[in-house]
């Protein structure tokens, strides 16, 4: 399938071009050669390598508000795409018949060449049919199991080989190409780790050997150190005992001095005499009964009786006075010449009556006065007795107060006497403690023990250093044995992983040749023959060999890159409905190279390897020579 016609307004150019299987578009710079290529790329895929896939970026190929590009295929179908600017946004519409999806790599070989080596390999494995490749994880596992170091092969090598097999088995049924690089990296890292571990083991072995040569220790030093430690312990026990004795002696002496300074030494005899006098005073106070309250209680009754008697005396005195006045008046009337006549006959009886009454009242008045005086005398007596009783009561209360003070004084004195008794008992006990003490001897013995301890401690330090050296020597000997065993294991792992890496590398080479061999053949069939040496693929990198030197794609010249990219684009676009080669500006190549390229493209089209080739060149007259293929169609701009 090929493109028959191109219609576009890209960059404001009105292009309407008929295209043949082999077409060369020629013309000077800025004549629109590249615009033809750009328009075909946009029509086929809807994006451009230099603009990406965003509509806004693609619209840079437009002039005005509209960009349209369309291609017509030789089967009559048309692919068209339109980008229109409306209100600041670019909107795309397209018409793409089914089955015309174009792989990105056909439009831009950088979709493959721009990847890392590992990603390139994954890309190729993804588009190739790996089912026909007989090199699998199972065959790799078999090859790894077959590793044998001959006479040098030991159980350690077998153990390391089992670890290698376990790493491969862990990959399961995943395709070999997906994990072979990771496995090789793991093998190398494990081998490097084993080598570093072996280096450390060798260092431990050398250190143990050096210590064994330099260190000379008495095997019995441990027993000597233990005996010296016991002597130190016994010495400390004796020192502790002596310090305890001296401390107890000093504490007893200090206690005696302190208690003696605290002794009160009260007068016990005087205390006892005061105690006896206090007893008598307590009996006296206890036997005394207060008199004032009883006398005080009599006064209200007497004063009440005095009031009653005084009232009675006043009433009698009043009656007495009244009768006296009546008698006086009667006498006056008897003696008066005017009243005498009128009172005769009754005055004698009245006088007798009044005189009798007067005498009675006079007697009663005297008796009342006598009674009142008696009560007053009683009150005076009670008051006198009350005053005497109060004075007596006050005296007893004073004795009671004095009795309280005396009790307090005697209580304090009794407490001092008891405290002195206890202090004396404690002093006597303390004196018994220090009676037979020999503090000077103890101090001398302690000094001797301390000097002996210092010597023992110095000896112990020296013995400990020797014991530590002996223990270190033993540990180093054990470490050496372990290190030697571990070193053998590490050395075996290094050897096995080294051999495993070699097997994996060989397997990878076989895998690359088995999978990429046909791919490289096709690459060289399309473009490799135009280069100085054929294209090759190594560790994910496309390039070619120049003798023993590997020349990667990045080091290719401009024409070499153009040819290689065209070959990659067509070779890898295995699922593309159109096998189209487009090489923009082959004018950078020499005439001979350009001629070979045009003839080679014609041959590829004739063989059906590619469907179509479109070239651009600034030099028009080159294609007018009779050396060009007859099938070449030239569009001169």
Question: Is 481 within the bounds of a domain?
Answer: no
Q: Would residue 215 count as lying in a domain?
A: no
- 553 vs 435: CA distance, rounded Å: 112
Same domain, 200 and 304: no
Q: In what order do the strands lie in the sheet with 22-26?
A: 580-583, 612-617, 22-26, 632-636
Nearest to 610 by CA among 557, 566, 549, 545: 566
- Of the candidates 205, 194, 203, the one whose C-alpha atom is nearest the C-alpha of residue 478 is 205
| pLDDT at residue number 214 | 47
d(CA 434, CA 175): 99
**Tens digit of each residue's pLDDT (9 = 90 or more) over 63-83:** 989 999 999 999 999 999 999
* 471 and 424 within one domain: no
487 versus 42: the higher-pLDDT residue is 42
pLDDT: which is higher, 366 or 342: 366
pLDDT at position 229 over 70: yes
Q: For residue 347, tell me if it sits in a domain.
A: yes
Range of the domain at 554: 105-131+527-575
Q: What pLDDT is stored for residue 394 in this prediction?
A: 80
Distance CA(210)–CA(204), nearest Å, equals: 10
Residue 177 reports pLDDT greater than 80: no
Q: Check pLDDT > 70 for residue 154.
A: yes
Question: What's the structural domain count of the chain?
Answer: 5
The pLDDT value given to residue 563: 79
Between the CA of residue 330 and those of 320, 323, 347, 356, 360, what are the distances in Å?
A: 15, 10, 7, 14, 18
pLDDT of residue 633: 92
Measured over the CA atoms of residue 159, residue 163, residue 164 and residue 168, the dihedral's sign is: positive
290-294 average pLDDT score: 79
**Contact (CB, 8 A) for 597 and 604:** no
Is 461 in the same domain as 494? no
Per-residue pLDDT tens over the stretch 81-90: 999 999 889 9
> pLDDT exceeding 70 applies to what percent of the chain?
92
As a whole number of angstroms, the distance between CA 258 and CA 252 comes to 10
**Token reading at 302:** 């007497």
Work out the mean pLDDT of the chain and round it to a whole number. 83
Residues 412 and 273 in one domain: yes
- Regarding whether 280 and 409 lie in a shared domain, the answer is yes
Q: In sequence order, what are the residues at sequence separation of 6 or more whose Cβ sits closer than 8 angstroms to the Cβ of residue 62?
A: 9, 10, 11, 12, 83, 85
- Return left, alpha or beta for 336; rule: phi > 0 is left, psi -120 to 50 is alpha, else beta: beta
Asked, for residue 237, whether it belongs to a domain, the answer is yes
One domain, residues 225 and 205:
no
**Whether residues 241 and 294 fall in one domain:** no
Q: Which DSSP letter does residue 130 get?
A: G
d(CA 200, CA 494): 14
Asked whether residue 216 is assigned to any structural domain, the reply reads no
For residue 417, list its beta bridge partners: none
Residue 277 shares a structural domain with residue 404: yes
Q: Is residue 274 located within the same domain as residue 402?
A: yes
Answer whether residue 150 is part of any domain: yes
Tokens of 289: 């009964």
Distance CA 8, CA 36 (A): 9
- 501 & 609 share domain: no
* Whether residue 547 is found in the same domain as residue 603: no
pLDDT tens digits, 439-464: 888 889 889 989 999 998 998 888 88
Q: Which among 575, 563, 634, 635 has a CA at the least distance from the CA of 604?
A: 563
Q: Token pair for residue 68?
A: 């349209």
496 by Cβ neighbours in 10 Å (0-12 / 13-18 / 19+) ranks as: buried
- Write out the H or E segment, with its range, that includes residue 382: helix 347-435
561, with CB counted inside 10 A (0-12, 13-18, 19+), is middle
Burial class of 430 by CB neighbour count within 10 A (0 to 12, 13 to 18, 19+): buried
pLDDT at 43 over 70: yes
Same domain? 166 vs 196: yes
């Amino acid at each position: 399938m090929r493109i028959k016609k191109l219609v576009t307004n890209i960059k404001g150019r009105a292009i309407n071009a008929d295209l043949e299987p082999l077409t060369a578009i020629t013309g000077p710079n800025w004549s629109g050669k590249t615009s033809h290529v750009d328009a075909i790329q946009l029509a086929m895929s809807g994006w451009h390598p230099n603009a990406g896939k965003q509509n806004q970026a693609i619209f840079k190929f437009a002039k005005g508000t509209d960009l349209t590009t369309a291609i017509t295929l030789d089967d009559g179908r048309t692919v068209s795409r339109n980008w229109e600017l409306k209100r600041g946004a670019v909107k795309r519409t397209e018409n793409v018949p089914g089955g015309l999806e174009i792989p990105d790599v056909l439009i831009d070989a950088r979709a493959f060449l721009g990847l890392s080596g590992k990603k390139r390999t994954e890309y190729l494995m993804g588009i190739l049919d790996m089912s026909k490749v007989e090199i699998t994880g199972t065959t790799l596992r078999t090859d790894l199991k077959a590793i044998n170091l001959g006479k040098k092969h030991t159980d350690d090598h077998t153990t390391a080989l089992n670890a290698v097999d376990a790493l491969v088995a862990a990959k399961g049924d995943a395709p070999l190409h997906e994990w072979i690089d990771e496995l090789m990296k793991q093998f190398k890292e494990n081998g490097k780790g084993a080598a570093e571990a072996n280096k450390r083991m060798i260092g431990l072995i050398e250190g143990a050997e050096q210590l064994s040569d330099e260190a000379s220790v008495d095997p019995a030093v441990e027993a000597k150190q233990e005996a010296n430690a016991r002597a130190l312990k016994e010495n400390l026990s004796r020192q502790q005992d002596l310090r305890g004795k001296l401390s107890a002696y000093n504490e007893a002496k200090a206690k005696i001095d302190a208690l003696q300074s605290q002794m009160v030494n009260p007068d016990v005899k005087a205390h006892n005499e005061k105690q006896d006098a206090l007893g008598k005073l307590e009996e006296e106070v206890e036997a005394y009964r207060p008199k004032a309250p009883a006398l005080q209680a009599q006064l209200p009754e007497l004063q009440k009786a005095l009031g009653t008697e005084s009232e009675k005396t006043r009433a009698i005195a009043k009656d007495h006075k009244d009768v006296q006045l009546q008698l006086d008046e009667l006498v006056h009337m008897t003696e008066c010449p005017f009243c005498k006549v009128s009172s005769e006959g009754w005055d004698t009886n009245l006088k007798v009556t009044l005189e009798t009454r007067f005498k009675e009242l006079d007697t009663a008045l005297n008796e009342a006065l006598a009674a009142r005086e008696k009560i007053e005398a009683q009150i005076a007596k009670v008051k006198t007795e009350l005053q005497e009783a109060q004075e007596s009561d006050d005296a007893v209360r004073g004795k009671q107060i004095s009795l309280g003070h005396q009790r307090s004084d005697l209580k304090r004195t009794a407490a001092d006497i008891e405290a002195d008794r206890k202090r004396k008992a404690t002093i006597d006990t303390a004196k018994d403690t220090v009676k037979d003490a020999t503090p000077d001897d103890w101090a001398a013995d302690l000094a001797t023990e301390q000097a002996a301890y210092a010597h023992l401690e110095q000896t112990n330090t020296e013995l400990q250093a020797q014991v530590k050296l002996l223990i270190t020597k033993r540990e180093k000997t054990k470490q050496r044995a372990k290190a030697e065993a571990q070193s053998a294991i590490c050395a075996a792992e290094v050897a096995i992983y080294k051999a495993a890496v070699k097997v994996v590398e060989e397997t990878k080479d076989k895998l690359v040749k088995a999978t990429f061999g046909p791919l490289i053949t096709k690459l060289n069939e399309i473009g490799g023959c135009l280069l100085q040496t054929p294209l090759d693929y190594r560790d994910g990198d496309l390039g070619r060999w120049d003798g023993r030197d590997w020349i990667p794609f990045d080091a290719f010249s401009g024409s070499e890159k153009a040819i290689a990219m065209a070959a990659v684009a067509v070779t890898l676009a295995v699922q593309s409905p159109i096998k189209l080669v487009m090489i923009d500006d082959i004018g950078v190549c020499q005439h001979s190279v350009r001629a070979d390229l045009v003839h080679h493209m014609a041959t590829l089209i004739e063989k059906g390897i590619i469907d179509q080739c479109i070239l651009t060149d600034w030099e028009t007259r080159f294609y007018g020579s009779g050396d060009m293929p007859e099938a070449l169609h030239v569009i001169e701009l």
